[in-house]
Amino acid sequence: MNFFISDELQQLYPDVALGIMHYQAIVQKSTPALLELVDKTISELQAKYTMDDIARIPQIAATRNAYKALGKSPQEYRNAAEAMLRRVVKGNGLYHINNIVETNNLVSISSGYSIGSYDVSCLSGNITLHRAPDGAIYEGIGKGSINIEYLPTLYDDIGAFGNPSSDSRRAMIQAGDREIVSVLYAFDDGNGLEEWMTHFKNLLQTYCDVQSAKGSIFRGSDKIILFEK
């Protein structure tokens, strides 16, 4: 599975990069230890930030700037990291889904990078991050049909399936033994990706019993391999 960033998107917003984690995992209910870490992190972030602070977090600010450059309102279509942090600061917490989603969300609220995790068996061919065209829609997870036009969106041979605001139902993570690709959406040229991908890998190994993971960063036409096991 190869990843690309479209020329159009790079021209509109050159500082785009993708962090890619590829691994096998048993998707199941989160352990008490993982949920305890999530709750502890939520409490720390709730104490650290005000609502006004969230949009100024560098990774979130960069994502908002990218949305503006692509023609999408970052206020009407908040990226997932920002939306979750707003819930956290308001004291609403986060929903408990499964061990992979919890780990995904934990890294996202801690780093400010929006992250999507996808079932590889539901994907086909190479994957490219495009600016979604006029009128583009797909069935979002728990949201019905959503407007994705102009959002930076992942496409495979079948069509669109994920973006930093809301993923489609097609490749959603469900219980069982799954081959998974997790994508960290970066619009700060990926300057902080290596640190957070290593942290993500460690969390997967500690709390999700992931035995090995491949990690790469895609920036422009370059691919940087971080780890292969």
Distance CA 63, CA 45 (A): 19
Count of domains forming the chain = 1
Structural contact between residues 46 and 91, judged by C-beta atoms closer than 8 angstroms: yes
Q: Which domain holds residue 88?
A: 3-117+189-227
- Residue 37 within any structural domain of the chain: yes
- Residue 145 within any structural domain of the chain: no
- Is the confidence at residue 2, as pLDDT, over 80? yes
- Residue 152 within any structural domain of the chain: no
Contacts by 144-147, CB closer than 8 A, 24 or more apart: 147/77
- Residue 217 within any structural domain of the chain: yes
How far does Cα 162 stand from its chain's mean position?
9
- Residue 29 within any structural domain of the chain: yes
- Residue 157 within any structural domain of the chain: no
pLDDT of residue 142: 82
- Residue 164 within any structural domain of the chain: no
- Residue 179 within any structural domain of the chain: no
pLDDT, one tens digit per residue, over 31-57 is 999 999 999 999 999 999 999 999 999
Q: What is the pTM of this model?
A: 0.96
pLDDT, one tens digit per residue, over 102-157 is 999 999 999 999 999 999 999 999 999 999 999 999 999 887 899 999 999 999 99
